[in-house]
Amino acid sequence: MSNDLVHGCNIYLEFGWIWDMPNPNPYILEHTHDYDELVLHLGSDPRNPEELGAEIEYVLGDEMLKIDKTSAILVPKGVRHGPLTWKKVDTPHIQTTIMLGAGTLAEAAPGGYSGR
């Protein structure tokens, strides 16, 4: 969902399945933006929904987060974040980002993606 897809929509929403190790890895590089961002990583095992099925390293400000559980991370506007690096992928999982106010990928991730 974006202003590019729905004219007048100032919400950037990205939803994607991670089936195996991304290539390139990381494809989300260090960046900042002018919008609060919510980053979700959702496990796909209905018997154990808290298990992500992957290990991810994510730099938020000066802190290295290690993610291996279903999680939601609030990234306040102006806070440096990234890269987002997968260390292993055992089972498919979902990655979603939501930004209210950012209507395009350029606004959501200025210089934040590689290989796309």
The answer to whether 67 touches 52, Cβ cutoff 8 Å, is yes
pTM of the full predicted structure? 0.84
Tokens, residue 56 = 């991810």
Bridge partners of 114, per DSSP, are: none
Domain ranges of the chain: 11-108
Distance CA 64, CA 48 (A): 25
Distance CA 39, CA 98 (A): 7
CA nearest neighbour of 106 among 5, 51, 33, 18: 33
CATH of the structural domain 11-108, one choice from 2.60.40.10, 2.60.120.10, 2.30.30.30, 3.50.50.100:
2.60.120.10
User: From first to last of its 116 residues, what are the pLDDT tens digits of the chain?
Assistant: 887 888 888 888 899 999 999 999 998 899 898 899 999 999 999 999 999 999 999 999 999 999 999 999 999 999 999 999 999 999 999 999 999 888 777 777 665 555 44
